Homo-oligomer: A and B are copies of this chain.
Amino acid sequence: MALIVHKYGGTSMGSTERIRNVAKRVAKWARAGHRMVVVPSAMSGETNRLLGLAKELAPAKPTTPYNRELDMLAATGEQASSALLAIALQSEGVEAVSYTGWQMGVQTDSSYTKARIERIDDERVRADLDAGRVVVVTGFQGVDELGNITTLGRGGSDTSAVAIAAAMKADECLIYTDVDGVYTTDPRVEPDARRLAKISFEEMLEMASLGSKVLQIRSVEFAGKYRVPLRVLSSFTPWDIDINEEAVSGTLITFEEDETMEQAVVSGIAFSRDEAKISVLGVPDKPGIAYHILGAVADANIEVDVIIQNLSKDGKTDFSFTVNRAEFARTVDLLKTKVLPTLGAADIVGDTKICKVSIVGIGMRSHVGVASKMFRVLSEEGINIQMISTSEIKTSVVIDEKYMELAVRALHKAFDLDQPAN
């Protein structure tokens, strides 16, 4: 009698036919004797429809009161889909009840449109589970101290599911989505990419932050903090496949570092086209330079990713960093008007035609030479490395965007990711 949390994305809830399939799948799990909590997203397209209406009516400058109303509006999408799923479960002969974020006691801060969960009071849901009911809980939303409805931001239903699983000490949280697991890299770039049966929490966190979009990164962080066993699997397998087979499908995000995992030095390759590079040239090489430049950027709420400072020459140095491509123009403008005049730097140059390619593997901790092998592989392909960034379990390089697919495929092969794991 395990306590299991299922989470279904908007595509899985996209029509009454699909909701019926979700209900049949959940009913199967309930009949197998599991205590079931289900967290559905809004029906696909619904959140965009609602936000589109809001946009037509929105004031010129968004304010906190406006964001409050946006959350009030957007939260209806999950409320509707949760009620529909509970109805579909009842039609399958399963006792079911749905709760909104506030009914479930999902307490958040008041940061409308990107609230953070502070506390979950699961008393009512436990009583329902004890009574043999399946409980459907709206993802994506909560309620602040004053009773205002809040939402957790895009993809927040993943986070809701994990937070509920953590609060209720669920045995496993299953994230049903439109892919069947986490791959060694994106199969659209490398057809030989393999699905990983297991990945460590730390690797998943790096993969998610480096551009692999299977899971929202906040949900992975949450799973890590509360050690929630998480499984990513497909909602498009037939609902009536054997439950024992389904229970081990997809990819398990695990906290145990067993031998199998240590054998694979590199587990996956992530990449992202979302960044742009900015270089400040001819900067006087003296203490406080990094703070002078990046402090101004941080003050403008712009996130900086990779940072490098070149060796000094004649008392001058070059300073480069990457930002999200959408923030590129704003950052350059900020530096030119606010930083350059007081810094005595020569010039600013930017490049939006870059990409970041990363190898990720928990085995890198205990294996030397992994990064240098990466650099050798890229060099053999004639790919110039512009920037390098490393952490304990990943190495990222910034290269010309046009080499992205080539780099991913060469690294995938060089690190034997196309070979079946033993």
A272 interface hit (Cβ, 8 Å): no
Stretch among A81-89, A318-326, A334-342 lining the B interface: A81-89
- The answer on a CB contact under 8 Å between B103 and A147 is yes
Q: Which of A69-87 contact B (CB under 8 A)?
A: 69-70, 72-73, 75-77, 79-80, 82-84, 86-87
Contact of A54 among B63, B75, B87 (CB under 8 A): B87
- Nearest-neighbour CB distance to chain B for A44, whole angstroms, equals 14
Q: Which of A50, A65, A66 has its CB near the most chain B CB atoms (within 10 A)? A: A65
Stretch among A28-36, A94-102, A195-203, A242-250 lining the B interface: A94-102
* Chain B, Cβ-Cβ closest to A50: B80
* Chain B, Cβ-Cβ closest to A79: B76
Q: Which of A92-151 contact B (CB under 8 A)?
A: 95-98, 100, 102-103, 147-149
Task: List B contacts of A103 (CB < 8 A).
Answer: 147-148
Task: List B contacts of A86 (CB < 8 A).
Answer: 65, 69, 72
- The answer on a CB contact under 8 Å between A95 and B65 is yes
Number of interface residues, chain A, beta carbon within 8 A: 43
- The answer on a CB contact under 8 Å between A68 and B97 is yes
- The answer on a CB contact under 8 Å between A90 and B72 is no
Q: A69-B87, A80-B73, A90-B69 are in contact. Are A57 and B20 (CB under 8 A)?
A: yes
- The answer on a CB contact under 8 Å between A97 and B57 is no
- The answer on a CB contact under 8 Å between A16 and B53 is yes
Task: List B contacts of A96 (CB < 8 A).
Answer: 65
- The answer on a CB contact under 8 Å between B90 and A66 is yes
- The answer on a CB contact under 8 Å between A70 and B83 is yes
Task: List B contacts of A419 (CB < 8 A).
Answer: none
- Nearest-neighbour CB distance to chain B for A215, whole angstroms, equals 27
- The answer on a CB contact under 8 Å between B66 and A87 is yes
* Complex-state Cα separation, A65 to B91, whole angstroms: 11
A299 interface hit (Cβ, 8 Å): no
* Chain B, Cβ-Cβ closest to A71: B83
A56 interface hit (Cβ, 8 Å): yes
A59 interface hit (Cβ, 8 Å): yes
Task: List B contacts of A217 (CB < 8 A).
Answer: none
A346 interface hit (Cβ, 8 Å): no
* Chain B, Cβ-Cβ closest to A86: B69
A58 interface hit (Cβ, 8 Å): yes
* Chain B, Cβ-Cβ closest to A77: B76
Task: List B contacts of A57 (CB < 8 A).
Answer: 16, 19-20, 23, 84, 87-88, 91
Q: A65-B90, A69-B87 are in contact. List 9 more A-B contacts (CB 8 A).
A: A16-B56, A57-B88, A66-B87, A69-B98, A70-B83, A73-B87, A102-B102, A103-B147, A103-B148
Offer 8 A-B interface pairs, CB within 8 angstroms, sorted by A.
A53-B80, A53-B84, A54-B84, A57-B91, A69-B83, A72-B82, A72-B86, A76-B79
